[in-house]
Amino acid sequence: MDDVKYGDILEPGTEDTQRERAETVKKGFWTTFKKAVRRLPFGEDVVAAYFCAFDPQTPIRTKGILLAALAYFVMPFDAVPDFIALVGFSDDLAVLAAAISAVRSQMRPEHYDLARQALEERQ
């Protein structure tokens, strides 16, 4: 884990990279979120980040950062594989927290409204 550089993970990437990440996130976000929700102290922020990443008004760099973090979150094999009990999502949480912190000013109230609505619907 020492050789994992969060800055490298959170690189916005090219348009092609962002498209690939967007597809990965769309396919796996809700399934992964349901598995991790009990361990996510900032679940509403994560869901708001999801909606921010897919908002056409979100700046490209912000989308890139969020898609990188969310793609890392949904990938089952990363620095600490998610299936490892108790610590499997710890690296994912660190990456998500860093991404959200970096782009929080771009996350609008509408993203949080959508997040609250989605969380209510999925319970």
Reported as a single tens digit per residue, the pLDDT across 34-50 is 777 756 778 899 999 99
- Percentage, residues of the chain above pLDDT 70: 76
Task: Write the CA distances from 120 to 29, 44, 70, integer angstroms.
Answer: 16, 11, 21
Reported as a single tens digit per residue, the pLDDT across 89-100 is 677 788 889 999
- Asked if 62 contacts 106 with a C-beta cutoff of 8 angstroms, the reply is yes
Reported as a single tens digit per residue, the pLDDT across 10-36 is 677 888 888 898 998 888 888 887 777
Least confident of 13-17, 55-59, 81-85: 81-85
d(CA 6, CA 62): 15
Q: What is the pLDDT of residue 1?
A: 40
Residue environment code for 37-58, b if the CB has 16+ CB neighbours within 10 A, otherwise e = eeebeeeebbbbbbbbbbbeeb
Closest CA to 54 of 75, 25, 96: 25
